[in-house]
Structure 1
C-alpha cells in the first residue's frame, strides 16, 4: 500500500485546513505537526531494527504526508499574512492621519457592471511611497467610462475595511479578506493618467462589451432575459432583481445562477459538436483553449476555475490514455486553486462549490441501485439523486452561514435544471448569432419565454414557505460534529464495519448534548441590552432591551428610526421576537447585574443615582468627567459614537488613569450586555 495512491483530495483538504485555521492555532499545530513528523521519522529509522505491520507502515506514511500538507498550508497562510502586514505597515501613517492623500491605482475589476460605482484596484503609489496591495474604490456616480486596466490618480482618505459594528450585520471585512483587500477609499474626482492593456484586461474589456451589447436598448430580449443571460454565461448577477435572487435562495437553486460544472459541461458539449470536423486530438486541444478563455471571460470565479480545471485533467488523461479518478481531479483542482489564489480559502462560494462536487462524488453511489430502466424516469431520478447528494453535503455550511434550510430543493431542481439546461444552450447559440438579425430575434424570443417560465416556476415554489426552516443556528462545535457525523456515516455504509457505526453514534450523542448545552445557554441569554451603532445620525441614541420574545426599543429621535431598521429586522429574526414595544430613553435603563445610567448633553449632576453602574456617555454632557468619577466609580463606561472625538479622548485618558474599563463604540461597534 502506497500513500501516494491514497486520494489526493484527502491531502488537499489538509492543505485547506492549514490555510483556514487562525494563526494562534497554527502555531500550536506547527509544533504538533513537527512532533508527529519527528516521531514518525524516528519510527522509520527503527524499521531497520524492528518488524512493523504493513498497516502501521501505511498509516504512518499517510500521516506524514497529511502533516506535510497541513504544514504547507500553514506556511502559505503565514507568508500571505506577512505580506499583508507589510503592506498595511507601509500605509499605516496614511491610515492614522485621516488626511486626504494622492493615490495612484490600476483598475483590476468592475464589481457591479450595472452600477459601475464599485471597483477593485492595485495600489501603485500613495503620495511618494511606492506600495503593492489591493484597494476597494467607491464612486458617488456611475463610471461607465472607467475600464479594467485604466491607471487613475485621485485624492481621498484611505480607510481600513472595518468589521461589522452592529449585531447581526453582514461581515463585509471577512468577505473582502477572501479577495485579499483590506483598504477602501471613496472617490469624488479622479484623473486618468494612463492605460495598461494586457491580454487579461483585453479579455475583460471584451466581457464588458458583450454585456453592454446584451443590455443595449435595441436588443429585443426582455429585461429579465438580459439579466439572466448575463448571469448564466458571463457570471454577472448584478442585473438580476434582489427579489428574484432571494426566491432562488429560498428554494435552494441559487447554484444555477453561478457558473459552475453544469454550465461548463453544457459548453463542453456544444464545443464538442461544433468542432466535430477536427481530428479527435486537435478537437480536445481547441476545446480546452476555449474553456480556459471562458474562465477569464466569466470573471475567473472559483467555481468556473474548479470546473474547467477538472475538465482539463479529464481531457488530458484521455489524450495520454491514462485513467484518472474524479477524486484525484477534485484534489488537484483544490490544490492548484489554493496555490493560484490563496485568499479563496475564506470565500464562501469557493467552499460551497468544492463541497458540492465532493458530495456528488461520495453520495451519488449510494443511489446507484435505485435507478429505473425507463430513460425518462432515469433522467428524473438522476436530477433528484444529484440534488439530494449536494444538499446532504451542504447542510452544515447552509446552517452555519445562512441559518436556513429548505425541503423544496428536490422539486425546485426537478423544474429548474432542465429549464436552465435549455437556457444555457440557447444562450450560447444566441451569443454566437447576435449579429444575424433574423436568427437572433427568434432565439431571443425563445430565451425570453423560457426565462418567464423559469422565474414563474421559482416564484410558485418559493410560496411553499412551510417547507422552509429559518433561525437554525449552528455553533462551530456543532458544525464540526455535524460534518463528522456525515463523514462517519458514509464510511460506515461503504466499509460495512461496526466500528464506524459505534463512532457515529457516539458523535451523534455528542451532537445532541451540544444542542442541549447550547439550548441551556440560550435559556440563560433570554435577557439582553443592546446599544446599536448609529452610522448616519450621530446624535441619535437607540437602546434595545430584549426579554424573552419581547423587545423594548428606546430612542431619543424617532424620526431616525428607519436608519437602523435593517439591523433591527435581522435582530428580530435571529431571536424570534414576537412583540416590539416603543418608549423614550429615560435617565436609567434596567440591566441584570449593573443598571445603565445614560448621560447626554442634558445631564449636569455629578452624583450618580446608583452605585457601580454602567455609564453610557452620549453626545457631550456638561460635566467634568474626572470629577464625577471621583464621586462614583462605574463598572464600565460605554462611549457612544455621538461623543465628539476631542471630548472622548480626554474621557478615555481619565478611564485609563483610574483603571476603569471602557467600550468605544466608534472603534468596536455595538455594545451588548452579553459581550
Structure 2
C-alpha cells in the first residue's frame, strides 16, 4: 500500500533524495570534492536513468528508480555546494581597504551602529576599481549622516572586511554558516569619516572626511547599471514602496505595538517589533502571525479568489483569466514585501495552486506541496535551512495528512460547533507537526496554542481584510481615517488578548532540549503512527511502539551523558566577562567581572549550552558571596578548592612582595588591567592564564608575548572560544 501511495505523488519521490543531498552537501561542505567530480557523477546518473527509462523493461524498473534517486541526491548536493562556493570564493585583504558598495536594504539601527546589507561593487586602489560583486554586511558607526542613508545609495567605504566567523562558544548558533547560506561573503565595521556617498538624492550629505576620500579616488561610474545589480535596484524600488506604506500608517495615527503588528501583517516589515511584543506572541504560541507567510498569503488568495469569482463564470477562458490575475496580484504583493523568502515560497505555492485550478487538477495535495518545495530548492538550495521554510512546509504537510483524522474523532452537529472544531483540528494538526522543530530551535512549547489560535486567526483574518480595504481607500482620505480607527481597535484587542494568554499559568514550557537525531526520530514515529492509522495492522503498531521505545532509550542515554558536572566555564562574550561555576546537581553561580555586564548578550549566546546540559537558572553574583562549595571575595573566587583571580582593574599594580603570595589555578585577565604580566606573577603563581575577549587586540597580543617569554600556559578566549575545566 505504501508503494502505491508514493506512486500517487511522484514529486514526493523526487524531493526526499533532493533534500537529503542538500543536507549532506551542507554538512560535508568543508571536505566536499570539487564541483567537477560532482558534475561528472551527476551526468553519469542522468545517463543511466535515461538509459533505463528508454529500455522500458519491467524487470529493470528498480534500476531506473535507484538511478533517479541517486540523480536527485547528487543534484541537491551539487546545488548547495555551488551556492556556498560562490560565497567563499573571494579572499579579502587583511588590512583596511577602500571598497565601492551599493546598499541593498534599508539600514537597521542597532545599539551603537547601523547594520547595512550591501553589494560590493569593487575594490578601489591607485590603479582603479577592480570588480568584486559580493554581498556583505557592514556596521556603520552611528551619526547623523548614516541615519539618512537609504536602500540604493552607492558609497565608498574604507574598512577591513573579513570572512564571517563564529565565537566558538558551546552550542552557539552557527552565525558564519547562516551568513554563508544567505550569500553573505564578509562583514566589516566602518567608522565615521571612513565613507562617502557616490550616488544618491542625498549626495550632499557626506560624512566628515568623506569628501576628501571620494575626490582622491574618483572611481569609474559606468558599471552602475550592469545586469548583476538589476535585481538589487528592483528590490530597492520595492523597499521604497514599503516605506511609503509605513509613512501612510504613521499619517493615519498608527504607532507603537499596533503599528509594528500591522506592518508585520501587511508588508512583512518587522523592524518596529519590540522585544516585549515579540516575546508575548512567542509565549502565547502566535509567533507565526507576525511572520508574513502561508497564513497571510492564503487569506489574501481566498479574498482575491472570491473577488474574481464572477470572472471564472465565463467558462474555461474565465478560469484561465482568474488564475492569471491571481498569479499577477500575488507576485505584485510579493514585490511590495521586498521579495522576502517566506513570502516568495508562499506565493510560489499558491501560484502553483492557481495553475492547477486552471488545468482542472486537484489544487491542494501533497504532490503540489512537494513540487513547490522542489522548485524552490532547485532555485535556492539554502532555503532548506531557513526555519520559516521548514515550519511552513511541515505545517502544511501535517494539515494535509492528519487534519481530517483529527476532525473525524468527534461528530459535531451544529454549524458553529463544526466551524470551531474545524479550526481547532487545523491548529492541532499544524502544532503537532511543527512542535518538534519549534522545540529544537527555540527550546519552548506553548501550552495554550489552541486557545490562542481560536481567537487570533479570526481576528487576523478580519484585520488583514479591513487593512487591504483601508489601503484601497487612499484616494478618499476622510473615509480611510474612519476605517483606520477600526483597524486600531482590532489591533489593540489582538495585542491585549495575546498578552492575557501570556500571563496565564504555565503558558509555556521553556528550557527543553532536543537533539537533532531526536527530531528526526520523532517525525519517523509520527509517520509510523500515520501508517498504522491507514492500515490498522497489529504488526505496524508493534513496529511503531518499538521505535518509540528505542527513541526514549536514546534520549535517556544522551541526557545522562550530557548531565551537569562540577566544572568551571569561561565564555567568549566580548561585552560580558564572566566565570560560570557549575555543580553536578544543575545549580550554578555566574560571576560577572564587569560592574555593568551585558547580561542579555551573554544569555543569548549561552542559553543553548545551559539547556543542553539541563542547568537550572544560574545565580548571578556581582559582589562578595559565600556558600559551602563556593565563595567570592573581591576578585578572588573559590569553588571546590579551585582558586580563580579575576583581574579587571589596576589594584594589583606596583605591589611589592618577596615571594608570590597566592597559588591560584586560573588568572583571568579582562579589560581594565593596563600593567604587565610580571607585576602579577610577583604576587600569584598561576596554573593557567586566560585572556578575555574584552581585551583590545594590542593588549591581547602583548600579554600573549609576555606569557610566551615567561613560559606560562595561556588560553586566548577570542581565538579558542569557550573553555570548560572539569573539577
Say yes or no: TM over 0.5. yes
**Which TM-score bucket, shorter chain as reference?**
0.7 to 0.9
SS of the equivalent of 2:506 reads helix
Question: 149-158 or 581-590, which moves further after superposition?
Answer: 581-590
Among residues 66, 81, 85, which one is paired with 1:82 in the alignment?
85
Scaled by the length of structure 1, what TM-score is found?
A: 0.83
**Preserved CA contact (<8 Å) 2:100 2:120:** yes
Among 211, 236, 245, the residue aligned to 1:210: 245
What SS class does the counterpart of residue 673 from structure 1 fall into? Answer: strand
Residues 1:653 and 1:41: Cα distance change in structure 2 (over 3 Å): farther
C-alpha distance in 1 between matches for 2:713 and 2:82: 36
Q: What is the 5 A alignment of 1:464-479? A: 464-479=504-519
Q: Distance in 2 between matches of 1:569 and 1:104?
A: 34
Check the 8 A contact 1:359/1:390 in 2, yes or no.
yes
Which of 423, 432, 447 is the aligned partner of 2:487? 447
* Contact 1:247-1:459 at 8 Å conserved across structures: yes
CA RMSD of aligned residues (A): 4.0
**Alignment match of 1:124 (pick from 112, 121, 124):** 121
Pair 1:640 & 2:676 matched: no
Deviation at 1:421, TM superposition (A): 0.6
Deviation (angstroms), 1:413? 0.4
Q: Residue 306 in 1 paired to residue 302 in 2?
A: no
- d(CA) in 2 for partners of 1:58 and 1:497? 29
Within the candidate set 386, 407, 417, 1:377 is matched to: 417
- Residue 405 of structure 1: which of 445, 451, 460 is its match? 445
Q: How far 1:118 sits from its partner (Å)?
A: 2.8
- How far apart, in 1, do the equivalents of 2:532 and 2:98 lie? 62
5 Å matches for 1:277-356? Answer: 278=311, 279-323=318-362, 326-356=365-395
Cα deviation per residue 1:244-264 (whole Å; 9 max; x = unaligned)? 211111111111122222222
How far did 1:398 drift?
Answer: 1.2
Q: Call closer, same or farther: CA 1:363–1:661 in 2, change over 3 Å.
A: farther
In structure 1, the partner of 2:579 is 543
Asked if residue 552 in structure 1 is aligned to residue 548 in structure 2, the reply is no
Tell me: CA distance 1:479–1:262, structure 2 relative to 1, closer, same or farther (3 Å).
Answer: closer
Aligned mates of 2:179, 2:259 — CA distance in 1: 28
Residue of structure 1 equivalent to 2:138: 137
Q: 3-state DSSP class of the match of 1:638? A: strand
Runs of at least 5 residues in structure 2 that lack an aligned partner in the other structure: 201-224, 312-317, 626-631
Q: Deviations over 1:604-627 (max 9, x none)?
A: 89979769x5664555664569x9
How far did residue 373 of structure 1 move?
A: 3.8
Q: How many residues align?
A: 645
- What's the offset of the Cα at 1:526? 3.2
Three-state SS of the structure 2 residue aligned to 1:443 is helix
Alpha-carbon distance in structure 2 between the residues aligned to 1:505 and 1:380: 32
Q: 1:440 to 1:159 in 2, by over 3 A?
A: same
Question: Among 651, 663, 666, which residue is 2:715 paired with?
Answer: 663
Shift of 1:382: 1.6
The Cα of 1:580 is off from its aligned counterpart by 4.4
Alpha-carbon distance in structure 2 between the residues aligned to 1:509 and 1:664: 44
Q: Secondary structure at the match of 2:495?
A: helix
* Residue 526 of structure 2: aligned partner: 486
Q: Are residues 1:228 and 2:258 paired?
A: no
Structure 1 pair 609/107, CA: closer, same or farther in 2 (3 Å)?
same
Paired position in structure 2 for 1:201: 236
Whole-Å separation in 2 of the counterparts to 1:204 and 1:296 = 9
- The structure-2 alpha-carbon separation of the partners of 1:202 and 1:579, relative to structure 1 and needing over 3 Å to count, comes to closer
Q: More displaced, 304-313 or 443-452?
A: 304-313
1:391-430 → structure 2 map (5 Å cutoff)? 391-430=431-470
Query: What are the ranges of 5 or more consecutive residues in structure 1 without an aligned counterpart?
Result: none
167, 170, 179: which one aligns with 1:176: 179
Superposition TM-score, scaled by structure 2 size: 0.78
